Amino acid sequence: MIDVRRLRVELDATKAALARKGVPGAEVNRAATLDVEQRRLAREAEDLRGRVKVLSKQVGDAMREGEPAKAEALREESRLLGNELATVEREGSKTERQLRDALLRLPNLPAPDAPDGTSEADNVVVRTVGYDPARYGPHQRVPHWDIGTDLHILDMERGAKISGSMFSLFTGEGATLARALCQLALDRNSDAFTEVRPPSLVRTPAMEAVGQLPKFADDAYHLERDDLWAIPTGEVPLTFMRANEILTAEELPMRLMAYTPCFRRESGAAGRDTRGLLRVHEFDKVELVAICTRTDAPALHQELLERATGAIAALGLPYRVVDISTGDLGQSHARQFDIEVYAPGCDMWLEASSVSWFSDYQARRAAIRYRPRTGGQTQVCDTLNGSALAVPRVWAALVETYRQADGSVEIPDCLQPYFRGLTSITGSVGRVG
């Protein structure tokens, strides 16, 4: 969430910044009003509590001095104040809850240099790398769902039999390819990132901290019986790992990576771009997370972007980098670059990675602070994350791009080490159907 103090010292600037994300000024005003009211009630409660404390002490003294009548009188006085205090406290905590809820729902301020806009249409393509439509032959203009069926490496029908539509089932070399992509992503980033294998089911506070809740509850799978959420991304456990901790300056910047499954209900996306692997409920992803100081954040954002594009480039896939406009920025995001990979079979640019800077929005919710090297007050950290590689769409673009005239799929050099000597996918290995 944003720093409440902003609402006190620079309300207009905050409103202007949030207006770029389409937040009505009234919503910001409401939070500001609640803040004023909350502090007023807190001050009143403090005052009353202080008086009760003094009186209570005097009751004890009177008892010890053997003056029961005096004690009783003081007790009565304190009781009355106590009732008053209870009323003020009730009101205070109600206001506090409302304020907290209002703050949780206010999105992060966009970075000043994020492009203005009202929707996806205003996103800016920053650069396109390796794309040449003339270079593709007809054998590459086959969508991956057909290739998958031909080579027996992707079986959406049986995936649906097991779990319903939009659940993928990789078989044989298809499964190997999915795993190899993750292995490659982990290996490429192991120079600077600590590998983590976190839980895939998390508690509500973890989802709240990264901004998934309360606003986007419908997008996540929830296990009611145990009140656990299936993570939509490794970002959730990786960011929450250090929640409620004060880090030392020496630990920063902290670089973490994890290979996790990701679960998404895609509640609002029914029927839209759902063929094959374009949109699935469960997929594997290698996520990179950085926790750092404000000063280090911009450089880390660039670093994450380079690492994410680096993996796509290493696979020999054309891609473009999109600067997300304020109209399309996520709730927690200050700045976001998407990497879209070109899939010649579908003839589509597929969003394959999202590299984001959250300023201190997530860290404030998660209470991740650090103590500056110079000592003094703790500071809220900045958080960033990006997909080092998300399997399905890269898998799709890859088999479409590397499809040969004979129908086989060549395995790019950098993946071959994970293929037990295979150099191309012919569908002959581990045939299931």
Partner RNA sequence: GGAGGGAUGCGAGAGUGGCCGAAUCGGACGGUCUCGAAAACCGUUGUGGGUGUACGCCCACCGUGGGUUCAAAUCCCACUCCCUCCGCCA
Q: Which of 22, 24, 60, 417 binds RNA (CB under 7 A)?
A: 60
Q: Taking CB under 7 A as the rule, does residue 404 contact RNA?
A: no
Residue 242's nearest CA partner among 350, 362, 151 is 362
Distance in angstroms (rounded) separating the CA atoms of residues 253 and 299 = 11
Q: Which residue stretch of 37-45, 157-165, 308-316, 404-412 sits at the interface with RNA (rule: CB under 7 A)?
A: 37-45
Minimum CB separation of residue 3 from RNA in Å reads: 8
- For RNA, the closer of residues 135 and 203 by Cβ is 203
Minimum CB separation of residue 37 from RNA in Å reads: 12
300-327 burial: b if 16+ Cβ within 10 Å, else e: bbebbbebbbebbebbebbbbbbbbbbb
Q: Taking CB under 7 A as the rule, does residue 39 contact RNA?
A: yes
Torsion of CA 412, 127, 345, 266, to 10 degrees: 100
DSSP state of 217: G
Q: Which residue stretch of 40-48, 104-112, 289-297, 411-419 sits at the interface with RNA (rule: CB under 7 A)?
A: 40-48
Minimum CB separation of residue 50 from RNA in Å reads: 4
Q: Kindly give the pairing relationship between strand 368-371 and strand 228-230.
A: unpaired
Other CB atoms within 10 A of residue 244 CB: 11
Q: Which of 21, 279, 369, 393 binds RNA (CB under 7 A)?
A: 369
Distance in angstroms (rounded) separating the CA atoms of residues 278 and 299 = 31
Q: Which of 16, 19, 43, 165 binds RNA (CB under 7 A)?
A: 43
Q: Taking CB under 7 A as the rule, does residue 246 contact RNA?
A: yes
Residue 239 burial (10 A CB sphere; 0-12, 13-18, 19+): buried
Q: Which residue stretch of 56-64, 109-117, 121-129, 212-220 sits at the interface with RNA (rule: CB under 7 A)?
A: 56-64
Q: Taking CB under 7 A as the rule, does residue 205 contact RNA?
A: no
Distance in angstroms (rounded) separating the CA atoms of residues 131 and 317 = 8
Q: Taking CB under 7 A as the rule, does residue 104 contact RNA?
A: no
Residues that bind RNA (CB under 7 A): 4-5, 39, 42-43, 46, 49-50, 52-53, 55-57, 59-60, 63, 75, 78-79, 82, 93, 246, 369, 371, 377-378
